[in-house]
């Protein structure tokens, strides 16, 4: 069975194949988007000045520590912002 067969036949039956928002993880999807954007921005700016690579390293270290500890400041910030908007 191929990935395309799974998507056609089981339409997101497996939670690992569903997007983060559909799986009930809207904050994690937002955090990944923000982190990816910051990394790409830092890489682009590093063409102008190599010191921007420190921003990329900072994001990478934060992603690593959040994976190891389960705590992420960005996810707390995004969750707080979305709660304020929803209220």
Q: Which residue has the higher pLDDT, 1 or 14?
A: 14
pLDDT tens-digit readout, 10-39 = 555 555 555 555 656 678 888 999 999 999
Which range has the top average pLDDT, 22-31, 53-62, 63-72? 53-62
Instruction: Give ∠ CA 39-58-62 in degrees, rounded to 5.
Output: 95
Q: Are 16 and 6 in contact (CB under 8 A)?
A: no
What are the domain boundaries of the chain? Answer: 25-86
Q: Are 20 and 29 in contact (CB under 8 A)?
A: yes
Integer-rounded Cα Rg, in Å, for the chain is 17
What local confidence, expressed as pLDDT, does residue 82 receive?
76
């Amino acid at each position: 069975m191929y990935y395309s067969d799974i998507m056609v036949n089981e339409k997101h039956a497996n939670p690992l194949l569903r997007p983060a928002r559909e799986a009930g993880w809207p904050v994690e999807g937002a955090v990944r988007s923000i982190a990816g954007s910051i990394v790409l921005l830092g890489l682009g700016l590093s063409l102008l000045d190599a010191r921007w690579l420190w921003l990329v390293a900072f994001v990478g270290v934060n992603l690593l520590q959040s994976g190891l500890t389960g705590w992420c400041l960005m996810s707390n910030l995004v969750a707080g912002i979305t709660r304020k908007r929803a209220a």
